[in-house]
Structure 1
Amino acid sequence: MTALIRLAWQSAWNRRFTLSLTVFSIALSAFMLMGVERIRTDVREGFTSAVSGTDLIVGARTGPVQLLLYSVFRIGAATNNIRWSSVEDIENMRGVQWVIPMSLGDSHHGYSVLGTSGAYFEHFRYGDQQGLELAQGKPFEDLFDTMLGAEVARQLGYQLGDRITLTHGAGGPINAIEHDDKPFVVTGILAATGTPVDRTVHISLQAMQALHVDWRAGVRLPGQSVDAQAVRALDLQPKNVTAVLVGLQSRAQVFSVQRQINHFRAEPLMAVLPGVAMDELWRLIGTGEQSLLLMSGMVAFVSLLGMVAVVLAGLNERRRELAVLRAVGARPLHIIGLLSLEGALATFAGVFIGCLTLWAAGLALSPWLLSQFGLALHFASITALQWWILAGLLGTGFLACLIPGWRAYRLSLVDGLSPPA
């Protein structure tokens, strides 16, 4: 067996230029397959871990996916708000440990503005139960302080101490109405999380109320403008919020509290489990990941077909070599094994180079991907499906080379020793 492996290596080395192209194509297919699977897995994990440690999401009665989209991913708008008195009732329910009120609706250069309380920075978790951390500055203390997500600060070039104005509603190039009478000061910038937090401008609930004391039904009241100084003397207790994140004392109480909220008498509310809503949403948008994996598999299939074609094309040049091996005592099994081992070596080399390149690229690009696109990728770890992909590539490469091996076996010894006509 050792002699056969050495012979296969030497034979492959003599045709190194041709086989190097095959190895390159296999490396590319391995790079794509493993990379797509890694990105697919990490994107899904990042998607499902945009909020963790939260037992229930509460909002006005609507669909679970819509509630998840606007409360967690800042996409879309709520059908209605929740009265502040209802938030206090939920906080006082048996089994509830903490609540995070969230007031949405305004924006800043296309980024969502979130009004919330100190509980948001204390209890909000993402990923593997990771808490929010400050990269610079401090939490908001004054009424018109703001904390920016990492992407907002990076894309708009904001630094601590900069003054910004917020836009009423989602904004837009035509109907954007600025709250320019109440500017905010950037006092903190959050560390990158790879979640919608990075794309959010955070202010206090009182600041959100202050922005809209002179507004009714989405319109500024004419002749009743209240400037930034005068508004400080007003009662800025929130009247309503958009959604509430709820944490419980025990996971065993989740269905009991959910039932209480869904049957809340003061106003129609709905409580959903984040994990259940995430799974429902992923079923709607997860088709693309399967398509990417399928395309990568097709690339791998074409690469392996190319390897078979290269070996088959070289058989005519190697017929005398194979015939000599037969003449000196090589059995048909040895001939098949020789060509199969050559294919296995080429496949192994291609897969190894592809994986090594993916690991090096991931190590170098992971910080950039996190900062630019919010993708937290873990190229160092290998998923179960990636192991199956590796085994499939190596096994398929070996089996593919049985075809030229069988073809070589069929070549007769006389035909190999006879000079061509």
Structure 2
Amino acid sequence: MSLLKLACRSILNRRITALLTVVSIAISVALLLGVERIRVEAKNSFTNTISGTDLIVGARSSGINLLLYSVFHIGDATNNISRETWEDIASDPTVDWTIPVSLGDSHRGYRVVGTNTAMFEHFRHAGDQPLVFANGKAFSDLYDAVIGADVATELGYTTGQSITLAHGVEMVSLQSHDDKPFRISGILQRTGTPMDRAILISLQGIEALHVDWHNGAPPIPGLTVSADKARNLSLEPEAITAFYVGLKSRMATFRLQRLINEYPQEALLAVLPGVALQQLWQLVGVAEKALLGVAALVVLAGLTGMLTAILTSLNERRREMAILRSVGARPGHIFFLLMFESLFYALAGCLLGNLLLYGLLFVAQPLAQGWLGLHLTISLPGLFELGLMIAIITAALLLGLFPALRAYRNSLADGLTIRV
């Protein structure tokens, strides 16, 4: 009988213990590869929060701060940009389109973003995905609003419903624009980006809310401007918070960026979204590395369980080893049997772990897409994942050396007679 067949029969003879060992390693492998898959997809989703935009322009500050308030709607700008400056840069021959962003108001903790219809035409995320409506349409009236998927889900809003916006970004604001209610004209499909938690209205809508405000102070009683009267006023914005820029050719990106950063009329900053997102990920990506480390420790615990199972069975198998010696097996053959057992556990655990992972991915993919806006790709393992599995198999073989060497020494000491 060949050594390989003998090793397989030995494992089959202890099938319950072997099965439990394989399952424990499989769960560990599935966890490790699952965390790695989620880590990669989360990073891709993060870096694809905004796509197809060549530059983001705002008041001079840090690039990360500009990215936070203009894309993630976190924090506030150090200053606004005048309409003349925005229109001047937008008129550059290399500029294809611009999307203005105006912040300042909120609704029950969700940021209100003033913009124009260019947002629905040119904004892209996750590569080249546009904003798509789950219900309704883009704003067309002065008091129309488009809400993100999270706003609709968490607040239970539907199209046609009226909402009241408030000044500032607090959850509960004492300065409500209750005299100018907005009607929900559309609800966006989930994107997995900050757009899910935004309320989009027109720039003119932002101006209408504050037409009777002066220097940031609420209107004086008796001097308010009604919603109907505001329709007849000039509501072109004097300033915006930031704007996105799309170029006709990316060859002009650095030239226009330098021109904006050296703009003489205002202190401006233009950043490349991809670069700023990578910088921000370096700050917030520590948690995913820690999670990957925890998963690696779980794999180590599974392999340690394998080592414990093999070591525990050695004393029970000394009679088996003696019988093998009596039929001509050498100590080296005993060593091979134990090493093959470790290799079998690692290979079977990796295979079963992958099957378990892909089964979970098939179940979790639509749930993650619908609830989190996170797309989990179901594809063959990448190079890094293959490297992780090779590392697991190598670690199993290294750990398998301990029981294999012990069995080797026992077989030399026992010979054909078991020594207790």
In the TM superposition, residue 86 of structure 1 has moved relative to its aligned partner by 0.8
Give the match for residue 286 of structure 1: 285
Q: 1:45 Cα deviation (Å)?
A: 0.8
Compared with structure 1, are the counterparts of its residues 416 and 112 closer, same or farther at alpha carbon in structure 2 (3 Å cutoff)? farther
Give the CA deviation at 1:382. 2.8
2:220 is paired with a residue of what secondary structure?
Answer: coil
Show the counterpart of 1:177: 175
State the partner residue of 2:198: 200
Deviation at 1:414, TM superposition (A): 6.5
Equivalent pair of 2:322/2:417 in contact (CA under 8 Å)? no
Correspondence list, 1:268-287, <5 A? 268-287=267-286
Equivalent in the alignment of 2:186:
188
Give distance in 2, aligned partners of 1:172 and 1:133.
Answer: 27
CA displacement 1:129-159 (0-9 Å, x = unmatched) = 2111111111111111111111111111111
Residue in 2 that maps onto 1:62 = 61
- Report the equivalent of 2:89: 90
Which amino acid letter does the alignment assign opposite residue 177 of structure 2?
A: H
1:412 aligned onto 2:411: yes
Task: Determine if contact 1:107/1:166 at 8 Å carries over to the other structure.
Answer: yes
Q: Cα offset for 1:27?
A: 1.6
Q: Distance in 1 between matches of 2:141 and 2:233?
A: 15
1:216 aligns with 2:214: yes
Question: What is the CA distance between 1:320 and its match in structure 2?
Answer: 1.2
Pair 1:3–1:104, CA change in 2 (3 A): farther
* Cα deviation, residue 354, structure 1: 2.0
Which secondary structure state, in structure 2, belongs to the residue aligned with residue 178 of structure 1?
coil
User: Match of 1:319?
Assistant: 318
Contact kept, 8 Å, 1:358 with 1:379, in 2: the verdict is: no
CA distance in 1: counterparts of 2:214 and 2:296, whole angstroms? 57
Task: Provide the secondary structure at the position in 2 that maps to 1:53.
Answer: coil
Give the structure 1 partner of residue 157 of structure 2: 158
Q: Output the CA distance in 2 between the equivalents of 1:126 and 1:409.
A: 60
1:20 to partner: Cα distance? 2.8
The aligned residue for residue 7 of structure 1 is: 6
Q: CA deviation at 1:194?
A: 0.9
- Superposition pairs for residues 356-375 of structure 1, below 5 Å? 356-375=355-374
Task: Tell me the alpha carbon deviations over residues 55-113 of structure 1, each in whole angstroms, 9 at most, x when there is no partner.
Answer: 11000011100000111111111111111111100101131111100111211121111
Q: TM-score under structure 2 normalisation?
A: 0.95
Query: Which amino acid counterpart does residue 311 of structure 2 have in structure 1?
Result: L
RMSD (CA atoms): 1.7
Distance in 1, matches of 2:373 and 2:216, equals: 33
Counterpart amino acid of residue 189 in structure 2: A
Distance 1:227 1:405, change over 3 A: same
Give the match's secondary structure for 1:218. Answer: coil
Deviates more, 1:214-223 or 1:78-87: 214-223
- Could you tell me which residue of structure 1 aligns to residue 16 of structure 2? 17
Q: Following the alignment from structure 1 to structure 2, what is the Cα–Cα distance between the partners of residues 102 and 270? A: 15
Q: Is the 8 Å Cα contact of residues 327 and 413 (structure 1) preserved in structure 2?
A: no
Q: How does 1:4-403 map to 2 (within 5 A)?
A: 4-173=3-172, 175-223=173-221, 224-403=223-402
Deviation at residue 265 of structure 1 after TM alignment: 1.6
1:180 partner amino acid? D
Q: Is the 8 A contact 2:207 2:237 kept in 1?
A: yes
Relative to structure 1, is the Cα distance of residues 188 and 85 closer, same or farther in structure 2, using a 3 angstrom cutoff? Answer: same
Q: Which amino acid aligns with 1:17?
A: I
Q: Decide whether the 8 Å contact of 1:326 with 1:413 is kept in 2.
A: no
Q: Distance in 1 between matches of 2:288 and 2:4?
A: 39
Change in CA separation of 1:92 and 1:269 when aligned onto 2, cut-off 3 Å: same
**Percentage of pairs with the same residue:** 48
1:374 maps to a residue whose letter is G
- Give the TM-score taking structure 1 as reference length: 0.95
Q: How far apart are 1:391 and its partner, in Å?
A: 1.4
Counterpart of 1:100, as a letter, is I
**Cα drift, residue 381 of structure 1:** 4.6
Note if contact 1:362-1:379 (Cα within 8 Å) is conserved in structure 2: yes
For residues 306-365 of structure 1, the C-alpha deviation after alignment (integer angstroms, 9 at most, x for no partner) is 211210110111111122122212233322222222222222222222222221212212
Kept in 2: contact 1:106–1:169 (CA 8 A):
yes
Please tell me whether the aligned partners of residues 326 and 416 of structure 2 are also in contact (alpha carbons under 8 angstroms): no
Deviates more, 1:73-82 or 1:13-22: 13-22
- Is the contact made by 2:149 and 2:196 (CA closer than 8 Å) also made in structure 1? yes
Count, aligned residues: 419
| Stretch moving more, 47-56 or 12-21 | 12-21
Give structure 1 stretches of 5+ with no counterpart.
none
Paired with 2:124 and 2:141, the residues of 1 have a C-alpha distance of 25
Q: What amino acid is aligned across from residue 258 of structure 1 in structure 2?
A: Q
Q: Which amino acid aligns with 1:205?
A: L
